[in-house]
Each structure stands twice: as structure tokens, then as C-alpha cells.
Amino acid sequence: MERTRISRLGQECIILCAVLLVLVSCKNQVPDDLINEEDEFAAIVPEEELREFGFNLNEYVVKRDTIRKGDSFGIIMERYKIGYPKIFEIAEQTKNDFDITKLNVGKPYTVLCSKDSIQRALSFIYQPNREEYVVVNFKDSIHAFTSRKPIKYVEKEFSGVINSNISQTLSDRGVSLLLAYKMSDIYAWTIDFTRLQKGDYFKVIYTDKYIDDSIYAGVDKIKAVYFEHRNEPFYAFHFETDPERGLSDFFNEDAKNLRRAFLKAPVEYKRISSRFNLKRRIALYGNRIRPHRGTDFAAKIGTEIRATANGVVTKSAYTRGNGNYVKIRHNATYETQYLHMKKQNVKVGQYVKQGDVIGWVGMTGNTSGPHVCYRFWKNGKQVDPFKEKLPEAEPISDSLRAQYLEHIKPIKGQLDAIPMPNPSILDNTPEDLISQLD
């Protein structure tokens, strides 16, 4: 009996060893390609997810900050364990590609540091705006370059009905107000956006811009608009009249230019704070008549001021009343003047084109707030440009007319197919508008 029991135990041990051997053998027989595939997946995914500015951020300690008052490139580098001999060397070798003295307060920067206890800076990335970035790399060799983040453009459609004003119509639907500014520029000489009527409506095809696929960067451009104002229809289609020179404009369904030879305003994103008024009375001066021979456009300090038409700069100077100002002669009939600038961007004798930046909004001279006072001369006399019948902009050429009409056919069809707002919903709430228009 004892011998039989020992024999059975021996058999069980043999079976157990055999099972273990099989398990070990199975484990070792996992396909090599499956193991490699898992290893590759583990390596690739983090690198793809943490890639920015052309760097694999997994390889660095990443420090992000903004330029503070008093900051310089040297001061920032010193914070990250870079000595002044090295800072001087970096500045010298990159001066042709990036001026390290031009760092603006409030702009973001990123420092890529070594993954060790010292965490010494290896690369400095400065972002002057949301799209561009400058890389100063000194990890191995010293060099600098400017690049741009990937940008995606998404075409969108929108229709809206005016209940109180166009800004409210857009904000109720979560649409950027830049769309209203751009439409007001397109229709500057045909529709006064400060005097829209309840019941006016519009349909628009436009492009939104996104940085890195996810950061919304605003409205890029408008493709086409239909606006019904006071029961009168107004079409506008964007068309490149000279692609090689980058010239384009907006025309209606009959190929007629919607603009005049002059822009209606010298600044974008503006509001009129004071109109041309020869009978204006001011309480500060005893309610006496103090004529205002210009149109004031309120805008933030630093807003670009644009030439409203082609011409030659005849004055770029400073006076006590005007502050920094520029005057432009456009032809024998018309001149324009732009007052209270923070700084001029042109010199006397310089030829400027319509839309060129000639200065920036400021508060110089006799003014109580940031704005540009726009003055307009016709035959040597100051007049109100909004009441003048100004010359039209160049019409579309005969050689392009047939091409233009063919170009807008599908766009007009797309525009017409956008669901039209129902005037009966004007008194509804924004939530009702959304449910009925979407």
C-alpha cells in the first residue's frame, strides 16, 4: 500500500512538471510581431500626442510663461541656468534671424529644459501671435527660425434675422462678432449697419480659422452674402480680379462693384462716436456752436489706421490740436486727413495704396478718448464723405465678366439654398430662434 501511494505521488509530480513546462513553452511562443506591435504602439502614441513646435516634448522638461515687464532674453535665460557668455553667443549667432530685444510684454514663451536635476534651458520658443512662433535652439548647434502652427479652414453657413441689432443676432447663436464687422465692410456703401431695421435678414457663407485643429482663431474670410434690408435684396460675392497680385473685391449678381473708390472708414472694428456736424453745440464751451468737420471713429489704442484710397502723403506731422496726424492727396479733387494718432507709419512724399496702414489709433492732441478723427476734402473744402456721391471703385473688366458670372453660379445656388429666417419668429426668445433656424 505504501509503495502504491508513493508511486501515485510520483506520477502527480511528473504531470505537474509537464503542465508547467507547457505553460512556460506557451508563454515563450507569443508571436514576436505582436510584442513588437505593442512596443511600437507604446512608443508612437505619446510622441504624437506631445508634439509641438516641431519638438517631441516627452524629451524635455517644458516650462511655459509670458513675457513680464522688465524681462529680457538674458534675464529669462539666466533663470534657466544659462550664463551670460552663452547668452551673448546665442544673441550673436541668431541676430540675422531673430532680434532678441523685441520681446513684447504679455506674449507667451516656452522653454524646453534638460530632463535632469539641473533642468538647463536647451530651446526658447517665443510666440508673437497665435499663429507664428520663433524657435531659438541651442541644444547642440545654435540657430533660430520662424515658423507657423498648422491652420485648418472650415467653411460654414449662417442665416440670421435682425431683432434688435446684428451683434445680438450673432451672439445669441454663438457666432463671432467679427462676422458682423466683415459684412459691414463689404456693404459699407450700400447698407448702414448702424441703422438696420427689425425684420432685416441675411445669409452668409464664410470660413472659420482654427490653429492646431482646436484653437479658434476667428473668421478668416467671407465667400458670399445675401442681405435683405428694407425689403431690398443685396448680394455680395468675393472674386479674385488679379490672383497673381492678390487683388480681389466683392461684386453683386450683375458683376457691379459694391465699393467706392474710398473706404467708408479708416479703421476696422469701430463705431462712430461723433459725426460731421457744422452746428454741433458743446456744453463745455457754454453750449456755443463748435463745428465738427470730421467723423470720429472710436477704437482701441493701437488699432491700425488705413488709407481710405490711393494717394501721396502730403503731411505727416504733429500739432497741438491734431496730435500726430497724416494727410493724403488722392487726386486733384480729393484729400483725406487722419488725426490723434499714437504714431505715424508713413513719410511725406510716400505713395500709399487703399488699405495700407498709415498709423495707429492714439490720444495725441486735443482729444478726450482714443479715436481717429477722419477729415475729408473735396476741391479744398471739408465735407461729409457720407453725404457725398463718391466715385465708384473699378468695375470688373469685360474680359473677366463672363468668368465671374460663371464663377458665382454654384455659390449663388448654395447661398439661396440656406434656409431663410422666418420673420414670424422675431419676437421669440434666442432659444426659440436656435430651434427654428437650425
- At 33, list the grid cell: 510581431
Residue closest to 187 by CA, chosen among 245, 144, 232, 124: 232
Residue 186 domain flag: yes
The confidence score (pLDDT) of residue 426 equals 43
Residue that finishes a domain, picked among 148, 179, 202: 148
Contact residues for 100 (Cβ-Cβ < 8 A; gap 6+): 72, 73, 90, 91, 94, 136
The answer to whether 208 and 218 have CB atoms below 8 angstroms apart is yes
Task: Please give the Cα distance from 192 to 196 (Å, whole number).
Answer: 7
The confidence score (pLDDT) of residue 205 equals 98
Per-residue pLDDT tens for 371-384?
999 999 999 999 99
The answer to whether 261 and 392 have CB atoms below 8 angstroms apart is yes
For the chain, residues with pLDDT lower than 70 are 1-49, 269-270, 278-290, 421-438
The confidence score (pLDDT) of residue 6 equals 43
Contact residues for 308 (Cβ-Cβ < 8 A; gap 6+): 262, 263, 264, 265, 266, 336, 354, 374
Whose grid coordinates read 431663410? Answer: 420
DSSP conformational letter for 252: -
- At 306, list the grid cell: 488705413
If asked whether residues 329 and 423 sit together in one domain, one would say: no
The confidence score (pLDDT) of residue 193 equals 84
If asked whether residues 56 and 135 sit together in one domain, one would say: yes
If asked whether residues 282 and 373 sit together in one domain, one would say: yes
Residue 204 domain flag: yes
The confidence score (pLDDT) of residue 104 equals 92
If asked whether residues 290 and 341 sit together in one domain, one would say: yes
If asked whether residues 398 and 359 sit together in one domain, one would say: no
Q: Which amino acid is at 412?
A: K
Residue that finishes a domain, picked among 133, 148, 163: 148
Handedness of CA 204, 207, 213, 217 (dihedral sign): negative
Structural domain count of the chain: 3
Residue 419 domain flag: yes
Residue closest to 154 by CA, chosen among 216, 93, 106: 216
Residue 9 domain flag: no
Task: Please give the Cα distance from 190 to 260 (Å, whole number).
Answer: 10
Per residue, what are the HEC states of 298-351? ECCCCCEEECCCCEEEEEEEEECCCEEEEEEECCCCEEEEEEEEEEECCCCCCE
Residue 319 domain flag: yes
Whose grid coordinates read 527660425? Answer: 145
The answer to whether 310 and 352 have CB atoms below 8 angstroms apart is yes
The confidence score (pLDDT) of residue 221 equals 94
CA dihedral 33, 39, 42, 44 (to 10 degrees): -80
Q: Which amino acid is at 247?
A: L
| SS3 state of residue 387 | helix
Residue that finishes a domain, picked among 122, 148, 174: 148
The confidence score (pLDDT) of residue 228 equals 94
If asked whether residues 337 and 276 sit together in one domain, one would say: yes
If asked whether residues 72 and 166 sit together in one domain, one would say: no
Residue 205 domain flag: yes
Residue 58 domain flag: yes
The confidence score (pLDDT) of residue 425 equals 47
Q: Give the neighbor-by-neighbor strand order of the sheet with 61-66.
A: 61-66, 108-113, 121-126, 132-137, 143-148
Task: Please give the Cα distance from 324 to 209 (Å, whole number).
Answer: 35
If asked whether residues 190 and 244 sit together in one domain, one would say: yes
Q: What is the separation, in whole angstroms, between the first and last Cα of the chain?
A: 89
If asked whether residues 176 and 220 sit together in one domain, one would say: yes
If asked whether residues 132 and 76 sit together in one domain, one would say: yes
If asked whether residues 284 and 331 sit together in one domain, one would say: yes
Q: State the residue range of the domain holding 318.
A: 271-387
If asked whether residues 299 and 340 sit together in one domain, one would say: yes
The confidence score (pLDDT) of residue 191 equals 86
CATH of the domain at 61: 3.10.450.350
Residue 31 domain flag: no
Q: Max alpha carbon distance in the chain (Å)?
A: 133
Per-residue pLDDT tens for 157-177?
999 999 888 988 898 888 988
The confidence score (pLDDT) of residue 8 equals 53
CATH of the domain at 336: 2.70.70.10
* pTM of the shown model: 0.64
The confidence score (pLDDT) of residue 421 equals 66
Task: Please give the Cα distance from 214 to 160 (Å, whole number).
Answer: 26
Task: Please give the Cα distance from 385 to 378 (Å, whole number).
Answer: 9
The answer to whether 291 and 271 have CB atoms below 8 angstroms apart is no
The answer to whether 97 and 143 have CB atoms below 8 angstroms apart is yes
Cα separations in angstroms, 416 against 112, 225, 353: 52, 10, 35
Contact residues for 190 (Cβ-Cβ < 8 A; gap 6+): 234, 258
The answer to whether 227 and 187 have CB atoms below 8 angstroms apart is yes
The confidence score (pLDDT) of residue 303 equals 93
- At 89, list the grid cell: 553667443
Give 99-117 as a DSSP string: -TT---TT-EEEEEE-SSS
C-alpha count within 13 angstroms, C-beta hemisphere, residue 223 = 21
